[in-house]
Structure 1
């Protein structure tokens, strides 16, 4: 008798998907699925058919699972098909369930610490007491992923209902814009699209060069993901760009989701232009959720970039209070304040740290500073950030500064030992609010789905706990100690207050006002300047819009104010993407040399796209979606284009040109759709024209049976 010959091996992609929470992946729902997607540490079923009946007495059937081209102990599993195999969370087993002539049904168990990825299978058959062998190589994909539903998996989330959001939800929101006008930008993650897992494998195999045996450790893997989603070190997924020049790629504001980016990356095997922080964060969420790591997108409003590890953000001024655009104490780069910055939280246990630092961990794929020589950041335990414990890996100090640094202003002062004297210090400015999407809610047009998670990152501003956590971090940094030592010696008798601007609809004028109050018994002569500037969201200045300088006398115990009017004609030609504006005010008192500075950010607001359907949506039947919004400008819009993404229609992302729209007219286009999924489907849209960009909108709609 010869060894068994394998005719076919099958892993029941649809049936296994039901028990492994992988039923949403497109590739297991094809008419004849060839890709199986399962989760580690949980048994899955398979069947093998041979060309002759299986003889349990004499036939030996060995399954050899391998990951990567040079399998080692951690990246291979070898076992014989056995009736008496016992499931064990730490090892591979293959238990025979049923034998029907030449067909053997079996159940495979995998270790719960298994490296994740696309595993290969070889079936080796021989007879007992014989060395002759037959080899069969299974030629289909078998993905084994993290299993956050399993209590023994490092990614386990005790409240499993939350996994519906943090692993299985394929649409979300990213909060963008300055503190007063921040709004949720819809984003289509699309982690179940057939292109995503192959793109992630290409990214890890070809670009990250991450050892296969480390891919079961979510700490190491998410650190690599934070590095490889930007292209800075290693031809990763996205090229970051912030200067408004995107003609040779896709402008960050035009993307509606991650799938187009990953599809382009896989197809061209080149980094994709262009991304900004929320684009990086959207792609990270797609990758993490696709692999089974719970993930959420996090927006920090008024975010510090601490370039010199002082746990402060330092702004420097000349003797006459003109702002310097460099840091005299850090020639390699100045601190900056971003209107908002977006990164990710990922969920895992941290066996590499002392007890108590598991749960949500921050990772940041936007390239800002290097960590261990590469542009990567995290995972940093939120608990460590909150308590100011900067000694535990990774990058807790940088993240602590992002959400809780103090803003310090310094004026050139020849009489001071350091050459600069302190103007003021603001403990409340940085990390005003940290936002994410609320689980189980999606509000396409409003903010009902916004969740404030500031308290997970820091104690309430101004409380003793918050100061202690920051000072805990300062204690470990010599440079930070020096900065904070100066901050305790300031005395002033004039109060200045810059009035905040809440909202300015695009095309409307606004006024910048400073209130001045003299608390002393003597008159004061004050030199002041007010400036309005257009800025990119990362704090980089674009164009000055208007500036006024002057002198004002304020009598003893008196109040005065200074202000400027900025008209639409002043700012419209100077606006840059996302329409962010910064107003700055500086003043210096002649008699006492007291100096003051403050600034405020706001956004010129644009309308949202509404998406309406003429009829009920019925599966498989053509329908029409109408996209529209009012043109807010006193000028025509040309080169108009909508871009729409949905998980429930064929074609993934559709672009449609819209006719030119007159001044204050309606911008509108019709989109033919044919839904291919039942239940609720989501649409995410963006719009661009020559004159007006970054208009967004979303809709959720029910698809019925015919």
Structure 2
């Protein structure tokens, strides 16, 4: 041991080469730039050391490496790793270093970070004299990484592609909008790391938070909270004029209309340059797009998803309850949005059943609190489909977004509420951009079984969604349906027909109140466009009546 100790003490590193161009290209981070080392975990990167004097010889020389991240690196938290240069290593869960050059004055090292190391900024110290700073990211190309995705075309789309399409519009008229995610644009990766360092969990306990960054479940949940600014120094401030009951003259005063954003780069850079003041303003697609940019920048495969006829269940009873007065005004808190956007992140779920690996819903739009924070997910898409509502995180809320029933009540003069209609059309044409082209991919089947199938019935039983099961068995008696003309053009009138039917064996007399109102995409009722009150409408047994009116075009 004495000769080794002598050589170790005399070993002095004069200079080093991080080979950024080679390493960044090999790790698919070259679009971030070549001026610094940015690598992915579980994959080796190379550096060259030039000794001031002497030679490094395997078996005779030793070199200790220390890798650290966070303000207080700790072996306990896994934010500090000490390892020696060795002839080789086959342990993917540990840091390793091997010499790849013959004995001499120049030493070529291959450093391999652990496949489950926390992501973020790291410092690597070699022999006490060489200090290297680098950034470590998730690695979906590494089979030992929890974000591993075994499909190169998917990786090109969900990690490397900086441009995409977000779907908005309506169920009848789905509109594609181009979006620049820009995850490799100059400065964006630094902003993404700053988001992690600004989150309240980091401020409370930096060591524990940095340790949690080994886990994409933890990171995704942090991002879900930090993309919105509700309760923290998050990135985007949401504004929905109809919900907030703002004046229509200038509802986005002091900021930008959510409709004006075309990409995430300006939003992220504005947040960074304004000392973490929230960027004004966003709505669901903006929150989702920014979350997608940050997830891809950190190495998590991610895609934006749009759900049409999307429910917002405030009390977790899987019902969207509208309580109308006789003027057609809704006094309930539940809502149905024309569409709603979230993201899906790809990862394993070691905390759940193996079949729940894969796509996970993460919703950064601030709707309801989860564990005291405005965030949602990640929750397995497969678990949502199976009705496993005890699954972490927020499965009941996401299940309701795609499966809830809408029930309408009319408030009576005595203050009681009478159930009038029930609607089961929530969660349709769930959409995302296709891989490798600009076509829309319908992924509704990933969230729901076919309507009326035995699998769907079993899912509802597991989810205790008794209302939908009972609704299909009960006799409706009196039924009211609305028929709208297939062709509707902006600025033009269109026909709306109310069809009242009586499936009982006796004649029924009823009063028909026909009211049409403008509704925002979030389900907020605006101005009344027309009102019709028909008294003593007679419905013969087994028969019905059709009543219509022209509604003014928007």
TM-score by length of 2: 0.88
CA contact 2:477–2:503 (8 Å) conserved in 1: no
Residue matched to 1:344: 343
Residue matched to 1:248: 254
Q: 1:339 to 1:40 in 2, by over 3 A?
A: same
Q: CA deviation at 1:99?
A: 5.6
Q: CA deviation at 1:208?
A: 4.3
CA contact 2:56–2:103 (8 Å) conserved in 1: no
| SS, match of residue 18 in structure 1 | helix
Query: Take 2:200 and 2:189, find their aligned partners in 1: how far apart are those partners?
Result: 15
CA contact 1:311–1:405 (8 Å) conserved in 2: yes
**RMSD, aligned α-carbons:** 2.7
Q: 1:198 to 1:208 in 2, by over 3 A?
A: farther
Query: Which of residues 494, 507, 518 in structure 2 aligns to 1:534?
Result: 518
Query: Take 1:107 and 1:565, find their aligned partners in 2: how far apart are those partners?
Result: 74
Q: 1:483 to 1:512 in 2, by over 3 A?
A: closer
Alignment partner of 1:40 is 2:37? no
Q: 1:268 to 1:7 in 2, by over 3 A?
A: farther
Query: Which of residues 10, 15, 18 in structure 1 aligns to 2:22?
Result: 15
Query: Take 1:552 and 1:34, find their aligned partners in 2: how far apart are those partners?
Result: 80
Q: 1:99 to 1:368 in 2, by over 3 A?
A: same
CA contact 1:404–1:470 (8 Å) conserved in 2: no
Residue matched to 1:215: 213
Query: Which of residues 170, 180, 184 in structure 1 aligns to 2:176?
Result: 184
Q: CA deviation at 1:306?
A: 0.7
Query: Take 1:388 and 1:158, find their aligned partners in 2: how far apart are those partners?
Result: 27
Q: CA deviation at 1:157?
A: 1.6
Q: CA deviation at 1:165?
A: 1.2
CA contact 1:113–1:153 (8 Å) conserved in 2: yes
TM-score by length of 1: 0.70
Alignment partner of 1:422 is 2:448? no
Query: Which of residues 220, 236, 239 in structure 2 aligns to 1:238?
Result: 236
Residue matched to 1:300: 307
Q: CA deviation at 1:339?
A: 0.6
Query: Take 1:49 and 1:545, find their aligned partners in 2: how far apart are those partners?
Result: 79
Q: CA deviation at 1:150?
A: 1.6
Residue matched to 1:205: 197
Unaligned runs of 5+ in 2: 1-5, 203-208, 242-247
Q: 1:552 to 1:432 in 2, by over 3 A?
A: farther
Residue matched to 1:492: 477
CA contact 2:409–2:419 (8 Å) conserved in 1: yes
Residue matched to 2:294: 287
Residue matched to 1:137: 131
Point out the more displaced range, 47-56 or 238-247: 47-56
CA contact 2:405–2:468 (8 Å) conserved in 1: no
Corresponding pairs, count: 528
Alignment partner of 1:257 is 2:254? no
CA contact 1:523–1:553 (8 Å) conserved in 2: no
Query: Take 2:539 and 2:68, find their aligned partners in 1: how far apart are those partners?
Result: 82
Query: Take 2:471 and 2:441, find their aligned partners in 1: how far apart are those partners?
Result: 37
Residue matched to 2:462: 472
Query: Take 2:92 and 2:301, find their aligned partners in 1: how far apart are those partners?
Result: 21
CA contact 1:155–1:348 (8 Å) conserved in 2: yes
Q: CA deviation at 1:310?
A: 0.6
Query: Which of residues 416, 430, 442 in structure 2 aligns to 1:452?
Result: 442
Residue matched to 1:633: none
Residue matched to 2:32: 26
CA contact 1:43–1:109 (8 Å) conserved in 2: yes
CA contact 1:422–1:486 (8 Å) conserved in 2: no
Query: Take 1:59 and 1:181, find their aligned partners in 2: how far apart are those partners?
Result: 70
Residue matched to 1:167: 159
CA contact 2:430–2:442 (8 Å) conserved in 1: yes
Q: 1:554 to 1:37 in 2, by over 3 A?
A: same
Query: Take 2:114 and 2:19, find their aligned partners in 1: how far apart are those partners?
Result: 20
Query: Which of residues 414, 428, 434 in structure 1 aligns to 2:430?
Result: 434
Residue matched to 1:634: none
Deviations 1:571-603 (A, max 9, x none): 4xxxxxxxxxxxxxxxxxxxxxxxxxxxxxxxx
Deviations 1:167-208 (A, max 9, x none): 111111111122101211111111111222101111101234
CA contact 1:425–1:487 (8 Å) conserved in 2: no
CA contact 2:311–2:320 (8 Å) conserved in 1: yes
Query: Take 1:117 and 1:277, find their aligned partners in 2: how far apart are those partners?
Result: 28
| SS, match of residue 209 in structure 1 | helix
| SS, match of residue 167 in structure 1 | helix
Deviations 1:337-375 (A, max 9, x none): 011110111111111112321111111000111111111
Query: Take 1:10 and 1:528, find their aligned partners in 2: how far apart are those partners?
Result: 81
Which structure is higher in helix share?
2
CA contact 2:228–2:365 (8 Å) conserved in 1: yes
Query: Take 1:504 and 1:112, find their aligned partners in 2: how far apart are those partners?
Result: 54
Q: CA deviation at 1:87?
A: 4.1
Query: Take 1:393 and 1:555, find their aligned partners in 2: how far apart are those partners?
Result: 50
Residue matched to 2:88: 85
Residue matched to 2:393: 394
Query: Which of residues 544, 550, 553 in structure 2 aligns to 1:565?
Result: 550
Residue matched to 1:694: none
| SS, match of residue 98 in structure 1 | coil
Q: CA deviation at 1:78?
A: 2.3
- Correspondences of 1:311-326 after superposition (within 5 Å): 311-318=318-325, 321-326=326-331
Unaligned runs of 5+ in 1: 28-32, 126-134, 328-333, 443-448, 475-479, 572-706
Query: Take 2:145 and 2:119, find their aligned partners in 1: how far apart are those partners?
Result: 12
Point out the more displaced range, 405-414 or 366-375: 405-414
Query: Which of residues 524, 527, 530 in structure 2 aligns to 1:546?
Result: 530
Q: CA deviation at 1:522?
A: 6.7
Query: Take 2:548 and 2:394, find their aligned partners in 1: how far apart are those partners?
Result: 43
Q: 1:457 to 1:55 in 2, by over 3 A?
A: closer
Q: CA deviation at 1:69?
A: 1.2
